Amino acid sequence: MNGSLYKHMIKAQAKTIVSYSVGSAFYIALIAAIYPSLADSEAIKNYLQQLPDQLLKVFNITGMGNLLEFIAGEYYGLLFILIGSIYCITAANQLMARPIDRGSMAYLLATPNSRRTIAFTQALVLLTGLAAIVVSTTAAGFAADAWLVTDDALDRERFLEINVVGFLLFFAISGYSFFFSAMANDEKRALSLSGGGTVLFYSFDLIGKLTEKAEWLRYGSIFAAFEPGNIAQGQVEWLPVCLLLLAIGAIGYTAGIGFFAKRDLPL
């Protein structure tokens, strides 16, 4: 790792990272804050019961039995995934594909640092941002539990599990995004590969949940590994899932750094 580059890149990314973190933290607190007013509402319960099972599955809503299930369904089920994925794809693109495409990578590589060092530093910047977003979301969840929702305790352990698996999901997504960004000569191409891949994965998961016949599609999707509603109910063996996501991400980053070190650069 190169300290100067890391510091500079973190500074350059700070605005983005802070806005994603604050946005995510604010939203989870908001969801938690409205929980008490909905928890005892018979109308909502009846409404949920009337919705088809598939639809609830699509949005990862398992129930409203407690605060954790509510947060898992209302926040982690969709918006969290969206925020994290967008950060992974855009940040990987900005850190690797853009400097390669625009040529500014030449200045960094002209310094006596190996390509591995440069790529590794950029990867670390990406992961630092990701960690900041997930950690601030987790912290906001705990804070909301402590101050906003007094009559329903959050299952802390399972809430942490959701966040750990969530972080690893993004580790995997950022891993392949980083790989595409390190490989491409063209910023747009990198963006369409990592963005397109992610949308495809998400659609597989969605279709698999909607139609039983197509459930096998979910096995081809990275998003099937993250089931916040089921984690909240304690129905997930989360360790194997974690290892799988960890492996996907590690392969993405390692391959990305490895290919970047050996490729021709149009600088």
Residue 19 lies near another protein (rule: CB under 8 A): no
Residue 12 lies near another protein (rule: CB under 8 A): yes
Q: 41 vs 111, which CB is nearer to another protein?
A: 111
Binding residue for another protein, selected from 1, 4, 41, 214, defined by CB under 8 A = 4
* CB 193, min distance to another protein, A: 19
* CB 189, min distance to another protein, A: 16
Residue carrying structure tokens 């890149």:
9
Helix axes 79-92, 156-183, angle to 10 degrees: 30
Binding residue for another protein, selected from 5, 68, 126, 257, defined by CB under 8 A = 5
Q: How many residues bind another protein, per CB under 8 A?
A: 27
Alpha-carbon distance of 117 to 113, in angstroms, equals 6
In this structure, what are the phi and psi dihedrals at residue 64, rounded to the nearest 5 degrees? -125, 25
Site string for another protein, 103-122 (x = CB under 8 A): xx-xxxxxxxxxx-------
Residue 99 lies near another protein (rule: CB under 8 A): yes
Token digits for 228?
């916040």
* CB 136, min distance to another protein, A: 23
Alpha-carbon distance of 163 to 151, in angstroms, equals 23
| Residue partners of 185: CB distance under 8 A and separation at least 6 | 100, 101, 266
Residue 237 lies near another protein (rule: CB under 8 A): no
In this structure, what are the phi and psi dihedrals at residue 32, rounded to the nearest 5 degrees? -65, -40
Residue pair 72/111 in contact by the 8 Å Cβ criterion: no
Q: 109 vs 160, which CB is nearer to another protein?
A: 109
Q: 79 vs 109, which CB is nearer to another protein?
A: 109
Residue 8 lies near another protein (rule: CB under 8 A): yes
* CB 135, min distance to another protein, A: 25
DSSP string over 7-27? HHHHHHHHHHHHHHHHHHHHH
Token digits for 121?
């530093």
* CB 8, min distance to another protein, A: 5
Residue 183 lies near another protein (rule: CB under 8 A): no
* CB 12, min distance to another protein, A: 6
| Residue partners of 130: CB distance under 8 A and separation at least 6 | 84, 87, 88, 91, 167, 170, 171, 174
Binding site for another protein (CB under 8 A): 2-5, 7-8, 12, 98-99, 102-104, 106-115, 262, 264-267
